[in-house]
Amino acid sequence: MKKFLIIALVVIIILGIVGYIYVMNPFNVGIDPLKLATRQFETGKRLEISFTYSKQRLIASSQYAFWIEDMSGRYIDTVYVTQWTAQGGYNTRPHSIPQWVSAANPSTMNQDKIDAISGATPRPGDYIVRWDFTDKNGNTVTGSQYRFFFEGTMNNDDTVLYSGIIKIEGEAWEIFPDPVYSIQDSNYKNMLSNVKIAFFPR
């Protein structure tokens, strides 16, 4: 009887931990900058990047990053990157969001920085990330125009890239950038879709 109670207690504890991770904190809430679009409502000056994500159940897939550069091509900061690549996955799979790796040079980032800009690959759904108009050192940027890049590795060297110019002053605006695929007849084009970049001045 005593042995049975101990086993039952262990099972309950394990189920409790799994339940918490699954229900209460599936996206590292409070840490992960990626948010469900349906759960967010904010005001104030901000840049929002919204998109639909569909998980690709392949070995080398479902990695993506959104980052900012200035108009001369200087890296400013990463808004979001999937955790596996940020934690060093680029060393074992060089085709994992290679343009972001080249621009951001994650090998020079400390763990606090990686934690601040990354999160585990989420479930399929609609998501939002927000740029707070700061650079990689936490300083508020002073320019009015920047370039954005949203890169995804869909399957090995099968990639997608959204890019364009953003103006972070004046009236509100929104754009729907066109994707550029490395393989035009890719079967995985639904991994990142409905991409919208929006600026809110207030």
Contacts of 58 (CB under 8 A, 6+ apart): 155, 188
Rounded to whole angstroms, how far apart are CA atoms 119 and 93?
18
Task: Identify the pLDDT of residue 202.
Answer: 84
Rounded to whole angstroms, how far apart are CA atoms 142 and 106?
24
Q: Cβ–Cβ contacts within 10 Å for residue 162, how many?
A: 22
Q: Which helix (H) or strand (E) holds 155?
A: strand 145-155
Residues 20 and 59 in one domain: no
Query: Which pLDDT band, with edges at 50, 70 and 90, does 10 fall under?
Result: low
Residues 8 and 58 in one domain: no
Predicted model pTM? 0.80
Q: Which amino acid is at 21?
A: I
Task: Sort strands 75-82 and 118-119 into parallel, antiparallel or unpaired.
Answer: parallel
Q: Are 155 and 188 in contact (CB under 8 A)?
A: yes
Q: 138-197, pLDDT tens digit by residue?
A: 999 999 999 999 999 998 889 999 999 999 999 999 999 999 999 999 999 999 999 999
Residues 57 and 5 in one domain: no
Residues 111 and 16 in one domain: no
Query: Which pLDDT band, with edges at 50, 70 and 90, does 58 fall under?
Result: confident
Q: What percent of the chain has pLDDT over 70?
A: 78
pLDDT, mean over the chain: 84
Q: Identify the CA nearest to 149 among candidates 122, 131, 171, 126.
A: 131
Helical residues (DSSP H) of 20-135, grouped into ranges: 83-84, 90-92, 98-104, 111-117
Residues 57 and 114 in one domain: yes
Residues 160 and 187 in one domain: yes
Residues 61 and 146 in one domain: yes
Q: Identify the CA nearest to 54 among candidates 155, 197, 183.
A: 155
Name which of 18-27, 37-46, 112-121 the model is least confident about: 18-27
Q: Identify the CA nearest to 97 among candidates 126, 130, 63, 125.
A: 63
Residues 115 and 37 in one domain: yes
Q: 86-97, pLDDT tens digit by residue?
A: 999 999 999 999
Residues 112 and 88 in one domain: yes
Query: Which pLDDT band, with edges at 50, 70 and 90, does 27 fall under?
Result: very low
Count of structural domains, the chain:
2
Q: Are 96 and 164 in contact (CB under 8 A)?
A: no
**What φ, ψ does residue 188 adopt, rounded to 5°?**
-120, 25
Residues 18 and 45 in one domain: no
Domain that holds residue 62: 31-200
Residues 9 and 56 in one domain: no
